[in-house]
Amino acid sequence: MTEAAGIVVALQANYLEVELDQTPEQGPSRLLCTRRTRLSHRGKAVHVGDRVHVEAIDPVQARAVVSGVAPRSSWLTRPQVANVSLVLVALAVDQPAFDPDQASRFLLTAERTGSPVQLLLTKGDLLGEEQRSALVQRLQGWGYEALVISSQTGEGIEALRQLLQTTELAVVCGPSGVGKSSVLNRLMPHLALRVGAVSGRLQRGRHTTRHVELFSIAPGARVADTPGFNRPELPADLSELGLLFPELRTQLDPWPCRFRDCLHLQEPGCGINRDWERFALYQDALMECADLSRPSRAG
Ligand SMILES: Nc1nc2c(ncn2[C@@H]2O[C@H](COP(=O)(O)OP(=O)(O)OP(=O)(O)O)[C@@H](O)[C@H]2O)c(=O)[nH]1
Ligand SMILES: [Mg+2]
Ligand SMILES: [Zn+2]
Whether the Cβ atoms of residue 31 and residue 54 lie closer than 8 Å to each other: yes
pLDDT in the model for residue 292: 65
- Taking only the tens place, the pLDDT of each residue in 4-48 is 999 999 998 889 999 999 888 888 999 999 988 766 655 568 999
Residue nearest to atom 21 of ligand 1 (CA): 177
In this structure, what is the dihedral angle of CA atoms 50, 52, 58, 63, given to the nearest 10 degrees?
-20
Query: Coil, helix or strand for 30?
Result: strand
Residue nearest to atom 6 of ligand 1 (CA): 179
Residue 152 and residue 250 share a domain: no
* Residue 229 Cβ contacting ligand 1 at under 6 Å: no
Number of domains in the chain: 3
Query: Coil, helix or strand for 126?
Result: helix
**CATH number of residue 65's parent domain:** 2.40.50.140
Task: Answer with the one of 193, 225, 257 that is the final residue of a domain.
Answer: 225
Q: Within a domain: residue 116?
A: yes
Residue 51 has pLDDT above 50, yes or no: yes
Residue 297 has pLDDT above 50, yes or no: no
Q: Within a domain: residue 230?
A: no
* Residue 185 Cβ contacting ligand 1 at under 6 Å: no
Q: Which of 78-87, 126-135, 232-241 has the lowest mean pLDDT?
A: 232-241
Residue 124 has pLDDT above 80, yes or no: yes
Residue 172 and residue 132 share a domain: yes
What's the mean per-residue pLDDT of the chain?
A: 92
Ligand nearest the Cα atom of residue 270: 3
CA-to-CA distance for 166 and 275, rounded, in angstroms?
Answer: 36
pTM listed for this prediction: 0.94
Q: Within a domain: residue 299?
A: no
Residue 99 and residue 150 share a domain: yes
Short-list 131, 168, 17, 11, CA closest to 80: 11
According to DSSP, residue 97 is labeled: T
Task: Answer with the one of 34, 69, 104 that is the final residue of a domain.
Answer: 69
**CATH number of residue 279's parent domain:** 1.10.40.50
The whole domain housing 178 covers 75-225
- Taking only the tens place, the pLDDT of each residue in 127-185 is 999 999 999 999 999 999 999 999 999 999 999 999 999 999 999 999 999 999 999 99
Residue 153 and residue 17 share a domain: no
